[in-house]
Amino acid sequence: MTEMDIRSQTAAVIPAFNDEKHIGDILRRTRKQLDHVLVVDDGSTDQTSQRAREAGAEVIVHSENRGKGEAIKTGLGHWLDQEVTWVTLLDSDGQHLPEEIDRFLSAAGSATHPTFFIGNRMNNLAGMPFIRRVVNRYMSKRISRVCGQDIPDTQCGFRMLDRQLIPDLLSGGHRFDYDTEVLIVASRKGYRIESVPITTVYSDQVSKIHPVRDAFRFFKLMWRYKAIGKPR
């Protein structure tokens, strides 16, 4: 399958929460890469959904904030019944460059076995705050052990997955712990987790992660899968 074929069969899911400042620009650039783009507005109180529609995206709105994991699941469920083969996930706040979707399409075109693609920012750390760098490396090592394969940047939200994996990803964590659980599920379904080099971008974004609450969720998730053990 050529990269052009893969592009025509790829849809995007962009979870968004109070990102009216960035969403329009991100969508216009994403729509230059892909024809099918969906924004899931996770209960925003600003003009996020209006800006998304103005930029030409399809929009689903949650009546209240349910968390990033729930927003992604809503988006994946939407494309499950559509004629797409791949789904790309990227953030709405400008941390991911839509132009780099091409890197994922190229990687998918070279894949010879079931693969889950995830962005890797760790080869170019110039723009990443020091504390994020340390935390990311620590979490990535822990998650890699649980997954049974090396994943250098497990916290990156820029991803591309096979539609056939979607039914297995419609449960699990509600918030940022979902990003981690998806990798574990894909690994245990026999998918290789392949890293795709991407650019590190930080500007005026304010992190929506709650350090104490989300750290607790992370360790709870790790203990749960450790207790389950690796599949035989």
Structure tokens, 25? 């620009």
162: β partners = 86
**Cβ atoms of 162 and 85 closer than 8 Å:** yes
pLDDT digits (tens, 9 = 90+) for 60-82: 999 999 999 999 999 999 999 89
Name the DSSP class of 55.
T
pLDDT digits (tens, 9 = 90+) for 89-140: 999 999 899 999 999 999 999 999 999 999 998 887 666 677 777 878 888 9
Name the DSSP class of 77.
H
Q: Compute the distance between CA of residue 9 and CA of residue 148 in angstroms, rounded to an integer.
A: 30
pLDDT digits (tens, 9 = 90+) for 189-218: 999 999 999 998 876 555 555 555 556 666
Structure tokens, 51? 């800006």
pTM for this model (two decimals) = 0.86
Q: Which helix (H) or strand (E) holds 142?
A: helix 130-147
Q: Compute the distance between CA of residue 55 and CA of residue 4 in angstroms, rounded to an integer.
A: 24
